[in-house]
Amino acid sequence: MPSRIRIVFTVLCLVFFFGAAAPLYRELSRPSDIWWTPRTMLIPLAESRDRVEIYTRGKPFAALLQAGQLRISEEGGSSTLATSDVGLRFNNWDRMRVARIPLMLVYAATCGITACLFLLVLSGRLVYRGEREL
């Protein structure tokens, strides 16, 4: 294989490899604590029933709030907690990770294939040998 073609294939393999490896590295090195619901967007207790149930001494937290059985002590006295006083934050890391798995698998496969091609080009295994006459 002429050296020009070998250099072209080597450069193409490196470009494809790093093009696929950069998003993989970015995803794997990202901190997992960034997927929490922001404090300014707390989810009300009524809207979170499909994701979380909170119990206090074996009783549902929402029922205790509605019955007025929960109180909070503040500086001078105590007041009854209302359902509007409670907000929840969720960690959506598991959902985001699952949604990104197919794309990460494609990137990983691309890295593997281009690494194999790179090694084949460097080792000279892709050399064109003309047809042989019998």
Instruction: In whole angstroms, give the CA distance from residue 115 to residue 121.
Output: 10
**78 has a pLDDT exceeding 90:** no
Q: Of the candidates 77, 57, 81, 78, which has an alpha carbon nearest to the alpha carbon of residue 68?
A: 81
Residue 124: other Cβ atoms inside 10 A: 9
Strands (E), 3-132: 43-44, 55-56, 59-60, 71-73, 78-80, 87-88
Domain ranges of the chain: 1-35+93-134, 37-90
Highest mean pLDDT (candidates 69-73, 75-79, 109-113): 109-113
Q: What is the mean pLDDT of residues 11-36?
A: 85
Q: Cβ-count burial of 33 within 10 angstroms (0-12 exposed, 13-18 middle, 19+ buried)?
A: exposed
pLDDT in tens, 79-102: 888 888 888 888 877 777 788 889
